[in-house]
Amino acid sequence: MSINCYLLQPVGFCSGVARAVDMAKQVLKLCGNVYIIEDIVHNKVLMHDMYELGIVKVSSLEEIPDGSSVMFSAHGVAPDLFDRAEEKGLTIIDGTCPVVKAVQLAVKEQASSGKKIIIIGKRTHPEVIALKGYAGSANAFIVFDEGDCDLLPDFTGEDVLYLTQTTLDINHVERIIRKLKERIPHISRESQNNICYTTIDRQAAIRDIANVVDLVIVLGSSYSANAKVLEAVAIDSNVKKVTRIDSEQELDLSLFSDVSSFAIATASSTPKFVLDRLLDFLTQNMEIEIKDFEQKID
Ligand code: SF4
């Protein structure tokens, strides 16, 4: 008997990742190489291919030879990195996703008018590090969980607002926003939940299908915030089995024992060809019937 396989939409790159990858490919075609400090998107398989095409990763701007090109990732970088790259005479390829760029500009504008900015996000994530740079360290406060909210200073008499990392779990962020509103009743109405459209859609697809599949496979890298959130959403939604893999090579086929239907969710940084390879591998090893998510809802 065949196993139902639901492909959760959307699949493939989000617009921000697609843009950054296209930019990198164009620069490589023109220049032969380009330097990066941070992976331009968080996907191991894709980055492996990009290194083969001529991307060179270094650990600091200082290691990049004068006159070279540097590309900044889709997550964005702090403004001081732009300044330092310009001072060094590097050609800058800005791969910052336009959705992230809009949040950066909002942070910059609000901080320059004297407001305190609470950034909801992971303090070690490049996107959050960059946002903190746009706010200026003295004006920025990073919170990830409710415990962090308790540690915030007293903002009495101060203008304060929150903004968010774009790739967090929407339910988690809504809990933190509720907590912030309790803790800081005068928090500005100009606050924004910046979780992006594709993040919301990918999480919603998992929550919608969680009760009818026995297994969710998240296709994405362990250092992709997006992929890790999809995995956490599947676990929180009580899916019986959840696995996150970079590619078909990591798939443990024993997971399919007692599975009559499963879903595949892709992170927004996962190339479509990685999904195609997984589907080929599955069809070679078992009898599956591939269905669209919409088919299941009907
Ligand atoms: S997940 Fe959203 S914010 Fe991040 S790169 Fe993609 S479109 Fe941009």
DSSP 3-state percent helix, strand, coil across the chain (nearest 5): 45, 20, 35
CA of 269 to the centre of ligand 1 (A): 9
Q: What is the mean pLDDT of the chain?
A: 94
Domain membership of residue 151 as a residue range: 99-183
Query: How crowded is residue 216: how many other Cβ atoms within 10 Å of its Cβ?
Result: 26
Tokens 């992709």 belong to which residue? Answer: 224
From 153, 183, 213, give the residue that closes a domain: 183
Q: Which of 11, 13, 17 to mutate to test the pocket of ligand 1 (most atoms within 8 A of CB)?
A: 17
Mode of pairing for the β-strands spanning 34-36 and 215-219:
unpaired
pLDDT surpassing 80 at residue 292: no
Mean pLDDT of 281-291: 94
Q: Which of 32, 51, 31, 33 is nearest to 41 (CA)?
A: 51
pLDDT surpassing 50 at residue 298: no
**Closest residue by CA, ligand 1 atom 7:** 16
CA of 171 to the centre of ligand 1 (A): 18
Structure tokens, 153: 């200073």
User: What's the pLDDT score for residue 137?
Assistant: 78
Q: Are residues 225 and 284 in the same domain?
A: yes
140-177 pLDDT, tens digit each: 999 999 999 999 999 999 999 999 999 999 999 999 99
Residues classed as catalytic: 127
Distance from C-alpha of 96 to C-alpha of 264, rounded to nearest angstrom: 28
Is 189 a domain residue? no
**Closest residue by CA, ligand 1 atom 8:** 16
Q: Are residues 242 and 174 in the same domain?
A: no
Q: pTM for the full model?
A: 0.92
pLDDT surpassing 90 at residue 108: yes
Q: Which of 38, 99, 169 to mutate to test the pocket of ligand 1 (most atoms within 8 A of CB)?
A: 99
Residue ranges lining ligand 1, Cβ < 6 Å: 14-17, 74, 97, 99-100, 166-167, 196, 198-199, 226, 268
Considering its fold, how many domains does the chain have in total?
3
**Closest residue by CA, ligand 1 atom 2:** 196
CA of 84 to the centre of ligand 1 (A): 25
109-145 pLDDT, tens digit each: 999 999 999 999 999 999 999 999 999 878 999 999 9
From 150, 183, 216, give the residue that closes a domain: 183
Structure tokens, 135: 């706010």
CATH number of the domain enclosing 214: 3.40.1010.20
